[in-house]
Structures are given as structure tokens and as C-alpha cells.
């Protein structure tokens, strides 16, 4: 690999530090626009649909995509795209089933829909499931960015985590959802540009360029996307990337994450109306597909680069892409690409902080205390943001030992997202299921998915579908034995 002199690295460090300072300043400028709960949590519902669309993309991809996706195609092929096709089907389902309910009334969180349909206890239960799931999954994402920063600054991972958390926490604390959306727009544009730059430089480093990549990778099946093999045995369900796992698993995963997880629902609720929310959701898939395709291409090109040059692999495949960027891209360009990776991390982290805070205040503290004064709730919101920052920092430190960052993040979310989707579907598709039956469904779904996770080889791509199905069926069956069913 090429190694640039230390003095030339000062330019890269300057680019990265300039970016960090600029984006923190930009986000903090929205302080005056976040003086009320509606502004702090929903951006005053003034953002255009295209900005919300880009913000959804930033939340959906994050550093896990940038660091983890090239590693998947480096060691495998394009099979991950099968899940992305499931993402499209999920967006259609959300647009038809859930969005109309979210825009009936003035909602701040997804779990207010559960209060309206089932009651306060189910609202708190679903909110707590979200808080636990999102905190654990976001901790993995916090660790993912520490991989990049530790490579660049040659410092341990923990100080790297603290640095990014502190800067992101500052502008999220000050600017709320308005800062989140508009910094997402900037950061998304930066990291896509950075990926395109790095891909171009990577092809330049490979003798023969794109032609050589195709010549080497195609015979080895590196560009293979679809695996249509089907059977009913356990071996079939233990394989992560198949067409059926992608379409069904990807659909259930995204319907749950985008339709019931406050991280994305908060963005959908920030739109001016239901039509703009739907436009933001559907249009985001086009860019998502392009992004995953681009990062998978980068992974295959890195495979060819390493193979042709006879280079030893990094100890962890998650480090392959950031290490190539830092060690091989020209000074200045490397700084832009690394800043792009940091941008994705900060975009997702700021959104997570705001969504965790909104759920904590609106669905937990406000109902428990009965407090309604705007000023007091705003103070609580600010300090809840800080508290969640500390929690995510702690989880990020522990997550260093959880394996592949991309699959760890997705598998953690897959454990409980099925419970949320199952109870949401009980709410919007049935009339007879009441509060206690819905709670019974959630408990049954949790028991089923924990058994699947710890006692079977079933791949994580199936977990959300299993959790959803068991929760829905158990809740409906339980409703047949009780008399408190509510009419929606």
C-alpha cells in the first residue's frame, strides 16, 4: 500500500477537523428554531419532503453501511441486495397501512397510536421496547465510527467514541429535530460524494481498472445477487442472504424499523402532511438501492485490489475500507472521505438521540408525572438528550466485542422489532383485540424470538417475521378468551 508522509497527513486532519467544527456550528445555529416541543421533536413540521427523504437515508444507512457493507462483498458477493428489494415492498406496506393512522391527530411519537388504540399500558410497553432496542443497536453504530477515528488518529477506540459523541450531543442538544434533518442532508451528500471519490481512486490503483475487477470477480461469483434455492429444512432458514429471506425478511424488518421505530417514524411525522411523508419514504428507496450497490462494488474492488497485490488482510474485515482510504487516497481526498464516514455516524447518532429523547419525554415521563407545561418539558428534553448520550457511549464501549458491526446492529434490532410490528398490526388490522390480549401477544412473541435467537441456527433475516407472526397470532387468539376487546 502507499504510505504518505506524516506532514502530508496534516492536510487530511485539517479537512476532518474543519468538517467537525463546521457541522457542529451549523447544527447549533438552529437553537432558536427549537423553542417548543413541536419544534424540538418534529422540526415544526416545516421541512420539505426531499430533505426528510435524505434524512431517512442518513438514518437507515449510517456508518454500519459504510464500514460493514464493503466487508460483506469482500468476503462474499452482492447477496445483501436481496434484502434491499424487501425494503421497497416494506415502504409500500407502510404507506398503505400505517401512515394514514399517524396523520390522524397531532402525534409526536409512533407509540401515541398505541395509546389511542389499546391504552396507556401498551403505549408504555411499546415505547420501552423501542428504547431498549434502539439504545443497543445505536451503541453498535457508535462503536463503528470509533473504528474509523482510531485508524485516522492512531488512538484507542474509547477516546474516539467520546470525541464523536460529545460533538454530536452538543448540536443535537441545542438544535433538536430541525438541526437533525438539515445536518442529515449535508452529511448524506458528503458521504455519497466521499464513496464515489474513493471508488474512483480504488479503480485507479488496480492495473486494468474496472475491466480487471470484472475479469477477476465475475468468474468467482462476486457479482451474484439472487439465491432462489428453497426448502423447508433448517439449513434453508439458517442461510442469511437468500431471495426469500431478503424479500420476506427485508420487508418485515423495514416495515418494523420504518413503521414502528421512532427513529424513522419521527422523520415521517415531521413532514408537512401525509402526502409529503409518503413521497419522502418512497423516494428514499431509490437512493438506498444506489448506496448499497455502490458500497458492495467498493467491497468487490477491494477484493481484487488485495488479491492482485498479494496484501495481507486486516485483522478485522470491517477495517478494510477505512484503512484503504486512509493509507492510499491522496492527501486531502482521504480527509474528505474520512470526513464523509464521520458525517454518516454523526447524522445517525443525532437522530437516535432525538428519537430516544422524544419517546422518553412524550411516552414515559409526561404520562407518569402529568406535567404539561412547555418550559418544564423542554428542560427535561434537553437533559434527557444528555442522559441518552451517556448511555449510548457506555454501550458503544461494550459493543467492541460484538463482532461484525453491520450484522450486529441489524441482528440486535431484529430481536424486538417483530414485537413492535406485531402489536401495531393488531392495532390497525383488528377491532376485537384489547389491551391485555395485545400484551399477551408481545410476551409470546418475545419468548418465541428469544428461543429462536439462542437455541436455533435460524438466520437473523427471519427473526422479525417470526416475532411479528407469533405476536399477532398469539394476541388475536388471546382476544378470543377475554371480554375487554376494544373497537378501533
Residue 70 lies in a domain: yes
pLDDT at residue 395 greater than cutoff 90:
no
Distance CA 288, CA 54 (A): 10
DSSP string, 381-435: HHHHHHHHHHHHHHHHHHGGGSS-HHHHHHHHHHHHHHHHHHHHHHHHH-SS--H
pLDDT band for position 477 (50/70/90)? very high
What is the reported pLDDT for 165? 79
Q: Which comes out higher in pLDDT, residue 151 or 260?
A: 260
Residue 452 lies in a domain: no
* Alpha carbon 486 to chain centroid, angstroms: 34
Q: Give me the number of domains the chain comprises.
A: 1
pTM, two decimals, is 0.79
pLDDT at residue 245 greater than cutoff 70:
yes
Residue 424 lies in a domain: no
pLDDT band for position 253 (50/70/90)? confident
The C-alpha cell 477484493 sits at 303
pLDDT at residue 281 greater than cutoff 90:
yes
* Alpha carbon 46 to chain centroid, angstroms: 23
What is the reported pLDDT for 62? 65
Contact call for residues 213 and 342 (beta carbons, < 8 A): no
Distance CA 135, CA 58 (A): 17
Task: Give Cβ neighbours of residue 351 (< 8 Å, ≥ 6 apart).
Answer: 55, 58, 59, 180, 184, 263, 266, 267
Residue 445 lies in a domain: no
pLDDT at residue 3 greater than cutoff 60:
no
The most confident of the ranges 37-41, 85-89, 167-171, 183-187 is 85-89
Lowest mean pLDDT among 18-32, 175-189, 406-420: 406-420
Distance CA 10, CA 15 (A): 9
CATH of the domain at 253: 1.20.1730.10
3-state helix, strand, coil in the chain (%, to 5): 80, 0, 20
Tally of CA atoms within 13 A in the half-sphere of 42 that contains its CB: 20
Residue 67 lies in a domain: yes
Residue 450 lies in a domain: no
What is the reported pLDDT for 86? 87
- Triad 158, 165, 420: Cα angle to 5°: 105
Contact call for residues 191 and 341 (beta carbons, < 8 A): yes
Distance CA 205, CA 288 (A): 27
pLDDT band for position 469 (50/70/90)? very high
Share of the chain above pLDDT 90, in %: 13
Q: What is the pLDDT of residues 94-111, one digit of tens each?
A: 999 899 988 887 778 888
Q: What is the pLDDT of residues 119-160, one digit of tens each?
A: 888 888 888 888 888 887 777 777 766 666 666 666 666 777
pLDDT band for position 64 (50/70/90)? low
Torsion of CA 247, 428, 285, 143, to 10 degrees: -80
Distance CA 244, CA 237 (A): 10
What is the reported pLDDT for 445? 92
What is the reported pLDDT for 129? 87
pLDDT at residue 448 greater than cutoff 90:
yes
What is the reported pLDDT for 231? 66
Three-state DSSP at 112 gives: helix
Three-state SS sequence of 145-209: HHHHHHHHHCCCHHHHHHHHHHHHHHHHHHHHHHHHHHHHHHHHHHHHHHHHHHHHHHHHHCCCH
Lowest mean pLDDT among 3-12, 245-254, 362-371: 3-12
pLDDT at residue 1 greater than cutoff 90:
no
pLDDT at residue 427 greater than cutoff 60:
yes
- The whole domain housing 268 covers 6-400
Helix (H) or strand (E) holding 475: helix 463-479
pLDDT band for position 249 (50/70/90)? confident
Q: What is the largest CA-CA distance in the chain?
A: 75
Residue 99 lies in a domain: yes
Cβ-count burial of 178 within 10 angstroms (0-12 exposed, 13-18 middle, 19+ buried)? buried
Average pLDDT, integer, range 284-302: 90
Three-state SS sequence of 60-93: HHHHHHHHHHHHHHHHCCCCCHHHHHHHHHHHHH
Q: Which comes out higher in pLDDT, residue 167 or 282?
A: 282
Mean pLDDT (the chain, rounded)? 80
What is the reported pLDDT for 166? 80
What is the reported pLDDT for 34? 55
The region, left, alpha or beta by phi > 0 then psi within -120 to 50, assigned to residue 226 is beta
Average pLDDT, integer, range 261-288: 89
Average pLDDT, integer, range 478-486: 70
Amino acid at each position: 500500500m502507499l504510505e504518505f508522509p506524516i506532514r502530508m497527513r496534516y492536510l487530511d486532519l485539517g479537512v476532518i477537523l474543519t468538517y467537525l467544527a463546521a457541522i457542529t456550528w451549523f447544527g447549533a445555529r438552529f437553537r432558536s428554531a427549537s423553542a417548543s416541543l413541536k419544534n424540538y421533536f418534529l422540526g415544526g413540521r416545516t421541512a420539505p419532503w426531499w430533505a426528510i427523504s435524505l434524512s431517512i437515508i442518513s438514518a437507515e444507512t449510517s456508518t454500519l453501511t459504510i464500514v460493514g457493507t464493503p466487508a460483506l462483498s469482500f468476503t462474499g458477493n452482492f447477496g445483501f441486495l436481496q434484502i434491499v428489494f424487501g425494503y421497497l415492498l416494506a415502504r409500500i406496506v407502510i404507506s398503505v397501512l400505517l401512515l394514514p393512522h399517524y396523520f390522524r391527530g397531532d402525534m409526536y411519537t409512533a407509540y401515541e397510536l398505541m395509546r389511542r388504540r389499546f391504552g396507556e399500558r401498551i403505549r408504555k410497553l411499546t415505547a420501552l421496547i423501542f428504547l431498549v432496542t434502539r439504545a443497543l443497536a445505536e451503541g453498535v453504530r457508535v462503536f463503528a465510527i470509533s473504528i474509523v477515528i482510531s485508524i485516522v488518529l492512531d488512538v484507542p477506540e474509547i477516546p474516539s467514541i467520546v470525541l464523536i459523541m460529545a460533538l454530536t450531543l452538543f448540536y443535537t442538544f441545542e438544535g433538536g429535530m430541525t438541526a437533525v434533518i438539515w445536518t442529515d442532508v449535508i452529511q448524506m451528500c458528503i458521504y455519497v460524494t466521499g464513496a464515489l471519490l474513493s471508488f474512483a481512486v480504488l479503480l485507479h490503483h488496480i492495473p486494468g481498472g474496472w475491466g480487471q475487477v470484472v475479469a477477476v470477480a465475475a468468474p468467482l461469483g462476486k457479482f451474484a445477487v439472487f439465491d432462489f434455492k428453497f426448502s423447508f429444512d433448517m439449513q434453508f432458514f439458517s442461510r442469511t442472504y437468500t431471495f426469500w429471506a431478503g424479500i420476506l425478511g427485508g420487508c418485515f424488518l423495514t416495515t418494523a424499523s420504518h413503521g414502528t421505530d421512532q427513529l424513522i417514524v419521527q422523520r415521517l411525522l415531521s413532514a408537512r402532511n401525509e402526502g409529503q411523508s409518503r413521497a419522502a419514504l418512497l423516494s428514499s428507496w431509490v437512493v438506498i438501492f444506489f448506496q448499497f450497490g455502490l458500497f458492495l462494488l467498493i467491497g468487490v474492488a477491494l477484493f481484487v485490489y488485495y488479491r492482485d497485490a498479494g496484501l495481507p488482510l486486516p485483522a478485522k474485515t470491517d477495517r478494510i475500507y477505512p484503512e484503504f482510504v486512509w493509507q492510499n487516497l491522496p492527501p486531502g481526498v482521504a480527509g474528505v472521505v474520512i470526513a464523509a464516514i464521520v458525517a454518516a455516524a454523526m447524522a445517525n447518532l443525532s437522530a437516535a438521540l432525538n428519537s430516544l429523547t422524544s419517546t422518553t419525554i412524550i411516552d414515559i415521563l409526561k404520562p407518569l408525572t402529568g406535567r404539561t407545561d412547555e418550559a418544564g418539558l423542554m428542560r427535561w428534553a434537553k437533559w434527557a438528550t444528555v442522559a441518552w448520550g451517556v448511555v449510548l457511549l457506555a454501550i458503544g464501549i461494550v459493543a467492541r466485542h460484538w463482532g461484525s458491526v453491520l450484522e450486529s446492529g441489524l441482528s440486535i434490532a431484529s430481536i424486538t422489532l417483530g414485537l413492535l410490528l406485531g402489536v401495531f398490526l393488531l392495532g390497525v388490522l383488528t377491532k376485537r383485540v384489547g389491551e391485555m390480549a395485545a400484551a399477551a401477544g408481545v410476551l409470546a412473541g418475545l419468548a418465541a424470538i428469544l428461543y429462536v435467537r439462542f437455541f436455533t441456527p435460524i438466520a437473523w433475516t427471519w427473526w422479525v417475521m417470526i416475532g411479528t407472526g407469533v405476536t399477532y397470532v398469539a394476541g388475536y387468539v388471546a382476544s378470543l378468551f377475554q371480554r375487554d376487546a376494544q373497537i378501533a
